[in-house]
Amino acid sequence: MELINIFLKSAFIENLALSYFLGMCSFLAVSKSVKTASGLGLAVIFVLGITIPINWLIDHYLLSENGLFGMDLTFLRFILFIAVIASMVQLVEMVVEKVSPALYSALGIFLPLITVNCAILGGSLFMISKELNFSESLVFGLGGGFGWFLAIVAIAAIREKIRYSNVPAPLRGLGIAFIITGFMGMAFMALMGIDPAALVGK
C-alpha cells in the first residue's frame, strides 16, 4: 500500500532527525537520559501526527485558491501553521501534566519548546512541498514522529554509555554529541534509496 510506503520512508529513509537534521536543539539537549528522551519522543509523535493533518486541512480548505476565501492566501501559511502547533503543544502539555507529573517535571521547559522544534514545523512544510493528500499527510506525520522518536532514544542510549568513556575535555557534552549524530546520519544514509514498495514485493 502506498501509505505503508510513506510511513516507512518518513520513519527511516527520510528520517527528520538523521537525514534532514531537524529538531536538533531539543534532540541534543534532552538526549542525556533515555527516559526523558522517550518521553519527549512520544510527545513529538503525537504533535506531528495531529498538526500535519490539521495544517493540511487549513492549507487546502482555507488558504488555497479553491478554498473558503477563493483567494491565494498562502502567505499566511507560516502564521497559521505555527499557531496550530502552539495550540496543540499547549494541549499536550496539559495532558502530560495530568497523566504523568513526573514526566512533566522531568521534561521541564522542553515540553513547551516542542512548539519551536524545527522538526514539527519542518514536517508541515515538507508535507506542503511534497504535495501529499490528507491520508498521506497523516501517515507522514506519524511516521516522521516515530522516526524522530527512534533517533532521539538511540542517541540517548549512546550518550548514557559514553559518559563513562574518556572524551577529551573540550569535546565533552556538546562536541561529542555532534560527532555521534554525524555518524548516525551517515549510517542512515545507507538506507537511502530503499523503495519499501519493492521490498514488500510489488
Partner 1 sequence: MADSKTNAKLDLKPVFFGKKEKKLLLDPLNDNNPITVQVLGICSALAVTTLTTKALTMAVAVTLVVGFSNLITSLLRKLIPSEVRMIAQLIIIATLVTVVSLTLQAVNYPMYKELSVFIGLIITNCIVMGRLEAFAMANDPWRSFLDGIGNGLGYGVILLIIAALRELLGKGAIFGFKLFGPGPDFLVDTQAISMLHWYTPNNLMVLFPSAMFVLAVIIWLHRTWNSKLVDVS
Partner 2 sequence: MQKYRYTVLFVLILSATSALILAGMYTGLKDIHEKNAQLFKKRVILKAISPLLDKPVSSLSDDDVEKIFQEKIQQVVLDMEGNPVDAARVAAAGYKKGDALSVDMAKEFKKPEAERLLPLYVYKKGDKKYYITGVMGRGLWDLIWGYIALEEDKNTIAGVAFEHAGETPGLGAEIKDNPSFGQQFVGKKIHDAQGKYHSITVRKGGAKDPNFEVDAISGATLTSDGVTEMLQRSMKYYDPYFQKVK
Binding region for partner 2 (CB under 8 A) = 14, 75-76, 79, 129-130, 192-193
Residue closer to partner 1, measured from CB, 35 or 197: 35
CA 202, CA 198: separation in Å to the nearest integer? 5
3-state secondary structure 70-109: CCCCHHHHHHHHHHHHHHHHHHHHHHHHHHCHHHHHHHHH
Query: With CB cut-offs between 5 and 8 Å by kind, which of partner 2, partner 1, none does residue 99 bind?
Result: none
| Interface stretch with partner 1, choices 1-9, 45-53, 55-63, 184-192 (CB under 8 A) | 184-192
Q: In whole angstroms, how close is the CB of 128 to partner 2 at the nearest point? A: 13
Query: With CB cut-offs between 5 and 8 Å by kind, which of partner 1, partner 2, none does residue 130 bind?
Result: partner 2
Q: In whole angstroms, how close is the CB of 120 to partner 1 at the nearest point? A: 7
The residue to which cell 542525556 is assigned: 32
- Using CA atoms, how far residue 179 sits from 109, 154, 186, in Å, is 25, 14, 11
Query: With CB cut-offs between 5 and 8 Å by kind, which of partner 2, partner 1, none does residue 102 bind?
Result: none
Residue closer to partner 1, measured from CB, 6 or 17: 17
- Using CA atoms, how far residue 188 sits from 14, 15, 42, 78, in Å, is 9, 8, 21, 30
From 22, 30, 45, 103, residue interacting with partner 1 (rule: CB under 8 A): 22
Q: In whole angstroms, how close is the CB of 72 to partner 2 at the nearest point? A: 8
Site string for partner 1, 143-182 (x = CB under 8 A): -------------------------xxxxxxxxx-xx-xx
**Residue closest to 194 by CA, chosen among 43, 75, 19, 65:** 19
From 33, 64, 104, 112, residue interacting with partner 1 (rule: CB under 8 A): 112
Query: With CB cut-offs between 5 and 8 Å by kind, which of partner 1, partner 2, none does residue 120 bind?
Result: partner 1
Using CB atoms within 10 Å of the CB of residue 86, give its burial: 0 to 12 exposed, 13 to 18 middle, 19+ buried: middle
Binding site residues, partner 1, CB under 8 A: 19-25, 28-29, 75-79, 82-83, 86, 112-113, 115-122, 125-126, 129, 168-176, 178-179, 181-183, 185-186, 189
